[in-house]
Amino acid sequence: MIDAIWPRHAERLPDGGLRLGGCDARSLAAQYGTPLFVVDELDVRSRAAEYKAAYDHGDHPFEVFYASKAFLTVAIARWVHGAGLGIDVATGGELAVALRAGIPGEQIVMHGNNKSRAEIEAALEHGLRALVCDSLDELARIGSIAAERGLVAPVMLRLTAGVEAHTHEAIATAHEDQKFGLSIATGMAAKAVDQALGDPHIDLRGFHSHIGSQIFDADGFEIAAHRVALFMADMARTRGYVADALDLGGGMGIPYVDGDDPLDVAEMAHRLRAIVVRECSSAGIAVPRLSVEPGRAIVGSSTVTLYEVGVVKQVQVSDDFVRQYVAVDGGMSDNIRTALYNADYTAALANRVSHATAVPSRVVGKHCESGDIVVNNLQLPTDVRAGDLLAVATTGAYCWSMASNYNNLPRPAVIAVRDGASRVLIRRETAEDLLARDQDA
Ligand code: LLP
């Protein structure tokens, strides 16, 4: 391992090469082409196993559901399920992949703030563990679709606890103004409980709370758990409704660049458990069945994107500042996170050693847009040139899953590496794939 940012089975070779899962990145690029998502299979499997071990034990075990929106292929679903995790899906498409992977419906939870009739029907048909619902409108729809089929739909209500990750109690009401969740503060959540309890085709299993993503400490969870526990106590007192299940969502952060320092898995698990147990006990309720839904933390660090460098250019930014622009053969169509969230990444040459001076650089893509930036700010040697292989770390979460065909660029292949062997998980798209749906082609 190089450091925490790179996959667990990444090694730097003396000649400047990069070995991933025992495979030389140069050979992978030659064999499969670039851009290329290279997934370290054992990294994903081991992180999934660590989450299982850290959360699912003791008096108050947490079940772990993998938030598949982060990165989903049939193989990835099988790896995480093999480590004992369930799967969280947010659409019928994600459900189709999870089912194809052989995940039993009972171990799948369905999210989504606007599920289609077909998605609700599929969830009921396949006996999913729960549909997580966050509107009165959809709650009624789920009830009526279940009624048509003579079924009772298992539902969890997604609560808005009014917490923005990274904030403190004083300003923790800031996040009411967004589309997700049923607000505890405004009474909407209580209304949903009443509606669910009054609907014979809804089986209200409990509550869900997700406070954000890329969270490095347990503070935000603490406030959310406090408010959710008080709400559960209120529902028990005023409605006689005792929730069976509580899901605290995902959001556990990972390091992308030096200086990122999230709590480790065991420590986070320990803190979350302590928080829930304390808050439930002070609210006077029994601890419900618990679960969490990490996405990024399971897959984020497993994957490296390999690009080939094309054009390099020096841009005189100001009188005394030149930035080196290094254009690669992908861009915002395979990693939208930099443009969308100003995300930071770590990158390195993966084909040779360079002894040239490192200068302020920016890795950009090949799209017709100035915001097409892959790595905003990094140091690269002055002799970077066409044909070099550049590896961008930590691209496992929300890169391939948010990839697009902007500029009709075919999406990259996804390959898995393990113990010196590689195999294709998702083949590279071709121009023919892009034309296949064009009815005039
Ligand atoms: N559970 C729910 C209900 C969620 O909405 C999410 C993420 C997760 C779990 C998993 O969160 P994670 O553990 O991966 O942070 N596209 C953004 C992230 C959006 C996350 C959306 N929901 C990004 O690229 O950073």
Q: Structural domains in the chain?
A: 10-40+301-436 (2.40.37.10), 111-294 (3.20.20.10)
Reference 398, options 298, 296, 303, 307; nearest CA is 296
Residue 406, pLDDT > 70, answer yes
User: Which atom of ligand 1 is least distant from the CA of 249?
Assistant: 1
Nearest CA to ligand 1 atom 23: 398
User: Which atom of ligand 1 is least distant from the CA of 397?
Assistant: 24
**Ligand 1 geometric centre to CA of 340 (Å):** 14
For CA atoms 262, 264, 268, 269, the dihedral sign is positive
Distances (CA, A) of 225 to 174, 240, 293: 16, 20, 15
32: three-class secondary structure by DSSP: helix
How far is residue 113 CA from its own chain's centroid?
17
Rounded to 5°, angle at Cα 317 from 314 and 321: 85
pLDDT digits (tens, 9 = 90+) for 107-130: 999 999 999 999 999 999 999 999
Residue 175, pLDDT > 80, answer no
Strands 389-392 and 303-318: antiparallel
Nearest CA to ligand 1 atom 21: 213
Both tokens of residue 266? Answer: 């065991």
**Ligand 1 geometric centre to CA of 431 (Å):** 31
pLDDT digits (tens, 9 = 90+) for 255-267: 999 999 999 999 9
Residue 173, pLDDT > 60, answer no
pLDDT digits (tens, 9 = 90+) for 326-350: 999 999 999 999 999 999 999 999 9
**Ligand 1 geometric centre to CA of 27 (Å):** 33
- The yes-or-no answer on residue 23 being catalytic is no
**Which residue from 69, 163, 215, 263 has its CB within 8 A of the most atoms of ligand 1, so it is best to mutate?**
69
How far apart CA 416 and CA 421 sit, in angstroms, is 8
Residue 182, pLDDT > 60, answer yes
How far apart CA 205 and CA 229 sit, in angstroms, is 15
Residue 84, pLDDT > 70, answer yes
- Determine which helix (DSSP H) or strand (DSSP E) holds 414, and give its type and residue range: strand 413-418
- Name the E strands within 14-171: 18-20, 23-24, 36-40, 62-67, 86-89, 108-110, 130-133, 153-160
Residue 168, pLDDT > 80, answer no
Rounded to 5°, angle at Cα 397 from 391 and 401: 100
The 8-class DSSP code of residue 420 comes to: T
User: What's the whole-number average pLDDT of the chain?
Assistant: 95
Determine the pLDDT at residue 220. 87
**Which residue from 293, 334, 335 has its CB within 8 A of the most atoms of ligand 1, so it is best to mutate?**
293
Nearest CA to ligand 1 atom 24: 398
Q: Give me the catalytic one of 23, 133, 280, 368.
A: 368
Nearest CA to ligand 1 atom 5: 210
- Name the E strands within 214-351: 245-247, 289-292, 303-318, 321-328, 347-349
How far apart CA 441 and CA 437 sit, in angstroms, is 8
Average pLDDT for 59-83: 98
Residue 96, pLDDT > 80, answer yes
Residues with beta carbon inside 6 Å of ligand 1? 67, 70, 88, 111, 210, 213, 249-252, 293-297, 337, 341, 397-398
- Determine which helix (DSSP H) or strand (DSSP E) holds 417, and give its type and residue range: strand 413-418
For CA atoms 409, 338, 348, 22, the dihedral sign is negative
**Ligand 1 geometric centre to CA of 76 (Å):** 17
Nearest CA to ligand 1 atom 20: 213
Who's near 390: CB < 8 A, 6+ residues apart? 306, 307, 308, 309, 326, 328, 347, 348, 349, 350, 363, 384
pLDDT bucket at 178, cuts 50 / 70 / 90: confident
Residue 80, pLDDT > 80, answer yes
